[in-house]
Structure 1
Amino acid sequence: MNSYKKTTADIWTGRKSNQELYLHEKISCIDIEKEELPKHQSIGFSFLGYACEEGVKRNLGRIGTASAPDIIRKMIAPLSNHLKNNAKLIDAGTIFCNENDLENIQSITSDKISQLIDNKYFNILLGGGHDLAYAHYNGIKRHYQNTTIGIINLDAHFDLRIPNDKGNSGTPFYQIAKENDRFKYLCLGIQEESNNKILFDTAHKFNVEYIKNTEFNIENTDRVSVVINNFIASVDHVYLTIDLDGFSSAYAPGVSAPSAFGFSPDIALRSIEQICKSNKLVSADIVELNPSYDIDNCTARLAARLVYYIMKYISSL
């Protein structure tokens, strides 16, 4: 069974202006296995779906993340288009996990990410479980060889669990750390009650930098900004990954592991803007949306707005 599928145009619907006033009017759906990627003059954004929940299942999480990519697309579609006229926006399709073969899907995903980066597209991946991070990092690494790629993760969890035979949504950064000497990792929003002592010990072993959720707030903006700036200064490139379960369940109820004590959109957006405007961000993803538990698509809408602002900040450079 084919693990890749082109997105159908009917996913992208909304008001019609015939003037590209809305994002659904600007996007092109491309089969990146059969069609040539469009060239662009200034900036190109690509969406790639990762419809995989095998890693969440292995990590004993709530099932439902596989349906997330298309839901996020539907929430992005009607948003107003304020991108530059010559900015290119494509939907590069979706990777599906067949027969529980997570490792094969991660390899395929890495290939697609590398292909898009090679064609000078800024990737925004729509997950799926956080096991996507292992595939995403490896796809970036294939293009940016012999450089230091810093990972910034907005998340309640370190995801540094030691794999039991196979990886899962809780192991990606441990896997990356073990395979890369230049491991640089910053976590924003870590919750002490959601990470056991072994995970904190592992984080210290790998020199992981982190800010706890109790300090990752708008009142502490200056310190957060300094930590992010210092981290970015220490690396060549940045990969941004946003786990929606890091947000308070007041904003993000539809996730695999909800938390009432998560962070708020204001500090997240301030941090994302800073990261985007560093000129070092090369790729991003949003993971762990679980539409089965969402309320009026509010978590999916949050994901869509984060995508919107990432594109806005990147295109303003």
Structure 2
Amino acid sequence: MSNFHFLTPGQPAIFKDQYVTKVTECIKAYQNGTKADFGLIGLPASKSSISPSFAADAPKTIRNVLNAYSTYSGEKNKDYKGTSIVDFGDVLIHPTNLEETTERLYLSVKEMLQTNSCNKFIMLGGDHSVSFPSIRAFGEYYGRVGVIQWDAHHDVRNLEDGGRTNGTPFRSLLEGGFLNGEDLTQIGIRDFANAREYHLYVKNKGVKVYTMDDVDRVGIVPIIQKEIERLSQKVDIIYLSVDMDVVDQAFAPGCPAIGSGGLTSRELLSSITAAADHPKVKAMDIVEIDPSKDIRDITSRLAAHAMLRFMYT
């Protein structure tokens, strides 16, 4: 029996309210045979980023800030403390070989799916390059995959100028035959942030593109509802890919490619809620947060809140 009154060796000295359950209390490390409602995996790769980026640190930071959130939704008057989350940990990234890193990401997501442990999954990047191996794995496991991409950029840069980077994931998916153009929806594409060549490329591939002007005129929730319904008629599962630079720099200062004229934090959260409610939505990745550029974890906290909107629908 301990002789200490206020010391707890090996445990954090933090305040605990007996009536509050934090999201982090619902997360358990994966063990063979574990079953849970949601699977969580870190894809901490950012060495292929066009802009200097420490986005590889984002999975750790987002996990940490989850402790700022409770499991109770006042808007729905429902406590989700019974929702279980299993954490598969982070993929071990190769220190120098980018192609090897891509292969490790693909294999790790595939192995996670093969455990049959969970109904839905969250991938924490990393830069947007991680979406290529992740979506590829989901498509091979589930069948035809549809993707809704929140992004300021098309991310279909040519591969000749720099190989696979965080600007090429959807070109890699389209060119590799892992994703049909008509099965990709891009939302929040920002003015003066892309090249005409890439705008024409996605249009020619049949990609559905909604710019910020479309969001302003139509509203993001109606767009999401329309595209979820359209995709659900064609695909086996729907994958949400959230590049945080779709959000205005005022609400997401920790993105390597910040810009004005993007979504508000409320628009991001309401749109994820609208999408996650559909039964064919099985996965979401969150990418492009550099904690070293952030202010008081504003961007990571928004990403954590986006996770909650995905899980607690």
TM-score normalised over the length of structure 2: 0.85
Separation (CA, whole Å) in 2 of partners of 1:12 and 1:232:
45
Tell me the SS of whatever aligns to 2:305: helix
Q: Does 1:108 align with 2:104?
A: yes
- Look at both structures and tell me which one has the larger radius of gyration over its CA atoms: 2
CA 1:98–1:15 in structure 2 vs 1: closer, same or farther (change >3 Å)?
farther
Alignment partner, residue 207 of structure 1 = 206
- The answer to whether the 8 A contact 1:22-1:78 is kept is yes
CA 1:95–1:194 in structure 2 vs 1: closer, same or farther (change >3 Å)?
same
- The answer to whether the 8 A contact 1:188-1:210 is kept is yes
Separation (CA, whole Å) in 2 of partners of 1:258 and 1:98:
27
- The answer to whether the 8 A contact 1:190-1:211 is kept is yes
Alignment partner, residue 305 of structure 2 = 305
Q: Could you tell me which amino acid in structure 1 is paired with residue 41 of structure 2?
A: L
Deviation of 1:209 (Å): 0.5
Q: Could you tell me which amino acid in structure 1 is paired with residue 241 of structure 2?
A: T
Q: Does 1:197 align with 2:190?
A: no
Alignment partner, residue 47 of structure 2 = 54
Separation (CA, whole Å) in 1 of partners of 2:254 and 2:175:
31
CA 1:134–1:182 in structure 2 vs 1: closer, same or farther (change >3 Å)?
closer
- The answer to whether the 8 A contact 1:15-1:22 is kept is no
Alignment partner, residue 125 of structure 1 = 123
CA RMSD in angstroms, aligned pairs only: 2.4
Q: Tell me which of 130, 136, 139 is aligned to 2:137.
A: 139
Q: Could you tell me which amino acid in structure 1 is paired with residue 139 of structure 2?
A: K
CA 1:222–1:298 in structure 2 vs 1: closer, same or farther (change >3 Å)?
closer
Separation (CA, whole Å) in 1 of partners of 2:312 and 2:28:
18
Q: Does 1:72 align with 2:71?
A: no
CA 1:171–1:12 in structure 2 vs 1: closer, same or farther (change >3 Å)?
farther
Q: Tell me which of 175, 179, 184 is aligned to 2:176.
A: 179
Deviations 1:158-196 (A, max 9, x none): 101121263110011001001117512100000131110
Q: Could you tell me which amino acid in structure 2 is paired with residue 79 of structure 1?
A: Y
- The answer to whether the 8 A contact 1:186-1:209 is kept is yes
- The answer to whether the 8 A contact 1:153-1:241 is kept is yes
Deviates more, 1:160-169 or 1:302-311: 160-169
Alignment partner, residue 23 of structure 2 = 23
Deviation of 1:117 (Å): 2.4
Q: Could you tell me which amino acid in structure 1 is paired with residue 60 of structure 2?
A: D
Q: Does 1:239 align with 2:239?
A: yes
Q: Does 1:154 align with 2:143?
A: no
Deviations 1:109-159 (A, max 9, x none): 222222322314222111111001101111202311xx3211110000110
Separation (CA, whole Å) in 2 of partners of 1:157 and 1:54:
19
- The answer to whether the 8 A contact 2:57-2:290 is kept is yes
Aligned length: 292
- The answer to whether the 8 A contact 1:238-1:282 is kept is yes
Tell me the SS of whatever aligns to 1:77: helix
- The answer to whether the 8 A contact 1:245-1:258 is kept is yes
- The answer to whether the 8 A contact 1:186-1:208 is kept is yes
Separation (CA, whole Å) in 2 of partners of 1:247 and 1:11:
37
Q: Could you tell me which amino acid in structure 1 is paired with residue 140 of structure 2?
A: R
Identity of aligned residues (%): 24
- The answer to whether the 8 A contact 2:136-2:178 is kept is no
- The answer to whether the 8 A contact 2:46-2:127 is kept is yes
Separation (CA, whole Å) in 1 of partners of 2:35 and 2:307:
22
Separation (CA, whole Å) in 2 of partners of 1:115 and 1:158:
29
Separation (CA, whole Å) in 1 of partners of 2:128 and 2:268:
18
Q: Could you tell me which amino acid in structure 1 is paired with residue 171 of structure 2?
A: Y
